[in-house]
């Protein structure tokens, strides 16, 4: 499967991100969705870092894969035959990629994975080929990992369920399938009738723009709600479970995810609603003891002050919604303490409490837990 896209009555399937043999990285420009479908082309690692930083590509998995592609891009243009000089220059070039989004652990994990493969090479030419091959391998593995998350997570969805999502952890946030949306897609393919409430997810509106777009493309019934409405629907008993992704998970199970996740987790706990976190094992950072050690990215005030959209004439415009004398705080993520998480959905199965012990067990080779 790939991202399903329907434009002007035509349907096609495409990956969120991919790298061609000439090392050009291509990606769906997520800033333009849902009103415009455009492919952004990045010819070099600096442009790829720019794409990550400016939210052209976003989502923990997609960022991680694109970071791996950036290593291959950076390696390909280094002009030296000395392997030690090559490695030093490669590492220096990647600083701009590392600085693009500090919270997503997949970015650092995949950079280090490609570098580790490159270090084993005997010469520069081989190293360039290995960087390309390893990055492509990471992309293929990402697709399979997300598919497995979908299979395990679909077991948690019953026919007729209404579920809530926050932000976008679908195919657009990875290479394909996604994490939080993968169980929903899989359950839909299994013939289960599902309704999805989609948090709009201010300030970038990834829910209203991206998750709703994916669900529309798949033909899955969904309703966009304001971020503040989730508690209302939980208290009314409309929501059976919440599915979210994660950008980093600490060793004790604390979860860094899109701002607003913590509030949802508290509401879910209060209203006896299941709160599921879907994430690949690489998202678990065993070197990070708890959520207090996770760096939280803060972005521009303008993301709070302005929104983009189509006006009534179909023109793409940026509109200010706040007073000119106001200031803003814009943390992009928050941390949900592990006690608010019902369980984790990974490519190796479901992780139940106690999380610290069971996370380590699964990473070291455990199996699916019922």
The distance in angstroms from the start CA to the end CA of the chain is 27
Strands 349-351 and 343-346: antiparallel
Strand, coil or helix: what is 31?
A: coil
Burial 182-193 (b: 16+ CB within 10 A, else e): bbbbbbbeeeee
Evaluate whether 339 touches 355 at the Cβ level (below 8 Å).
no
Task: Name the burial class of residue 84, with classes exposed (0-12), middle (13-18) and buried (19+) by CB atoms within 10 angstroms of its CB.
Answer: exposed
Catalytic residue from among 199, 247, 254, 334: 247
Distance CA 342, CA 313 (A): 46
Active site residue 247: yes
Distance CA 355, CA 286 (A): 12
**What are the distances in angstroms from CA 19 to CA 44, 54, 56, 63?**
11, 19, 15, 13
Distance CA 331, CA 316 (A): 26
Sheet hosting strand 248-250, strand order edge to edge: 284-285, 248-250, 255-258, 333-336
Instruction: Name the phi and psi angles at 279, rounded to 5.
Output: -160, 145
Active site residues: 247
């Amino acid at each position: 499967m790939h991202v399903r896209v329907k434009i002007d009555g035509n349907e096609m399937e495409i990956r969120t991100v991919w790298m061609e043999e000439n090392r050009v990285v291509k990606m769906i420009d997520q800033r333009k969705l849902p009103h415009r479908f455009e492919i952004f082309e990045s010819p070099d690692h600096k442009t790829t870092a720019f794409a990550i930083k400016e939210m052209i590509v976003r989502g923990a998995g997609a960022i991680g894969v694109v970071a791996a592609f950036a290593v291959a891009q950076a390696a390909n243009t280094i002009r030296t035959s000395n392997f030690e000089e090559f490695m030093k220059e490669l590492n220096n070039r990647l600083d701009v990629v590392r600085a693009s989004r500090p919270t997503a652990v997949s970015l650092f994990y995949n950079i280090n994975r490609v570098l580790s493969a490159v270090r084993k090479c005997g010469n520069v030419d081989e190293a360039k080929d290995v960087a390309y091959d390893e990055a492509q391998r990471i992309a293929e593995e990402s697709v399979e990992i997300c598919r497995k998350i979908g299979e395990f997570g679909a077991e948690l969805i019953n026919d007729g369920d209404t579920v809530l999502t926050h932000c976008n952890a679908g195919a657009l946030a990875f290479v394909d399938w996604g994490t939080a949306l993968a169980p929903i897609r899989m359950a839909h393919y299994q013939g289960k009738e599902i309704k999805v409430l989609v948090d709009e997810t201010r300030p970038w509106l990834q829910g209203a723009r991206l998750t709703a777009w994916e669900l529309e493309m798949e033909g899955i019934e969904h309703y966009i709600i304001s971020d503040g409405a989730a508690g209302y629907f939980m208290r009314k008993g409309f929501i059976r479970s919440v599915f979210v992704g994660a950008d980093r998970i600490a060793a004790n199970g604390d979860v860094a995810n899109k701002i607003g996740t913590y509030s949802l987790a508290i509401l879910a706990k209060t209203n006896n609603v299941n709160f599921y976190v879907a994430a690949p094992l690489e998202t678990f950072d065993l070197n990070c003891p708890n959520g207090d050690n996770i760096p939280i990215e803060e972005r521009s005030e303008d993301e709070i002050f302005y929104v983009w959209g189509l006006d009534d004439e179909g023109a793409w415009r940026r509109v200010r919604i706040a007073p000119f004398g106001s200031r803003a705080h814009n943390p992009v993520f928050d941390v949900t303490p592990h006690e608010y998480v019902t369980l984790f959905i990974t490519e190796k199965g479901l992780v139940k409490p106690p999380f610290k012990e069971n996370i380590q067990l699964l990473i070291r080779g455990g199996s699916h837990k019922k």
